[in-house]
Structure formats: structure tokens, C-alpha cells
Structure 1
């Protein structure tokens, strides 16, 4: 028994998918920043830390960074007594739920939804 297969690639569809992956990753990272803001988990006194958040994409990888001078100290000190009058869920390690907590699948699902929307109908 012989099996023959013929594969015909659609360069236009491939280009749409490539463009969609770039756009969707950027939009996913922006959505994550919004999700973190809505969760009200970033420690807040004046709002500088929350406002300092930087979203970006480099070499196909997305990131959300808090470059403020005290961000590292607050992030890695979960035992700190965070004030909760402005952000009621303020805590250290505020991104951990996305890494290994209840929001672990959030990034994958959000990216998948955005990729499908941005693919111009190529991904169904």
C-alpha cells in the first residue's frame, strides 16, 4: 500500500498568521497589565509603582515589568504589611497567580482568543 500526499501552502494565509502572532502577543501583554490593574494587587501608595508598568515584546516573548526603584523590594517581600486602602488586594509577588496560581492558563487562553480574532479568518 502506498500513500501519497500533496501539500500546497498558502503564502498569504501564512503571512496573516505571522502578523497575527505578533499583534496578538502585544495585545495579550496589554490585557495582562489591565487584568493585574483590575485585580488591585499591586501595592499602591502614590500610584507610581502601578503606573510604572512597562509592557513589551522582544524576540517573540512578551513581558510585563515594574522598573520602579522599589518594585523588586516590594515584589519579593510578601510578608511586608501592605496598605490596602487604595488597592484592597495589595500584596507581594503580585504576578505569581499568572505563573503558578489560579491564573496560570489565563495568558494561553487570552493569546489563543486574540490570535483567532487577528488571523483574518485563517484560524477558526
Structure 2
């Protein structure tokens, strides 16, 4: 038995994976911002200091990073009394809904699957 691989198809799939992964990271960040769950005072942390880090995309990994110095303290202290004037749902642990057992636990997988389907033309 002989198996032949179509290099063009394999390259197309590999490129589709990377594009879909990058777009999934952007979709999570967009959803996070639109949900209004990040603490918001001046907007610097949410709008300018939070971004999709694609430095490891070739390893199949993207991350959402926040470089604001207060991010860790605010994230791990949901008991704080957060302002809700600009982000109605502001609080700590704003990524928890995206965890497997969270309200948006399937968001990442479903978004990636849909984007992948579009990329490969299915």
C-alpha cells in the first residue's frame, strides 16, 4: 500500500489553522471587551494594555495579555468594589467565563471550528 500526501492541501490546512487561531484570539478579546467585565477606570488597561500575543502562534498558542501593573491584583480580587459606570459587569476574574465550566466554556472551540471551516471553504 502506498500513501501519497498532497503538499498543497497540507500547506493550505496549516495556513488555515494559523489564521483561524489568530482570529480566535481576536474574537475572545473582542467578546471580553464587549461583555464589559474588565475593570474600567480610564480605559487604559482594557483598551491599550490588553492584546492578543501571537509570539507562539507557530506552536499553536495565542494568549491574551494585559501589561497594566494593576491587572494581576484586580483579576485575583473579585471581592473589590469595582466601578460599573463604564463597564456594567466589571469585576475580577474576567476570563473565568471562557474556562471549560464557564458560561462561555465552548466559545473558543466553537469559534475556532467555525473560522477553520470558513478558511478551508467548507
TM over 0.5: yes
Structure 1 residue 13 and structure 2 residue 14: aligned? no
Other-structure match for 2:117:
116
Q: Which runs of 4+ in 1 moved over 6 A?
A: none
The residue number in structure 1 matching 2:53 is 56
Q: CA RMSD in A?
A: 1.2
Q: TM-score, normalized by length of structure 2?
A: 0.90
Q: Distance in 1 between matches of 2:113 and 2:65?
A: 22
2:83 corresponding residue in structure 1: 83
Q: What is the alpha-carbon distance in structure 1 between the residues aligned to residue 15 and residue 25 of structure 2? A: 16
Per-residue CA deviations over 1:69-98 (Å, capped at 9, x if unaligned) read: 000000000000001011000010000010
1:91-112 CA-partner distances (Å, limit 9, x unpaired): 1000001013011110000001
Deviation at 1:7, TM superposition (A): 3.2
Mapped to 2, the partners of 1:101 and 1:6 lie a distance apart of 46
Aligned to 2:102: 101
- The answer to whether the 8 Å contact 1:26/1:56 transfers is no
Residue 6 (structure 1) shift: 5.0
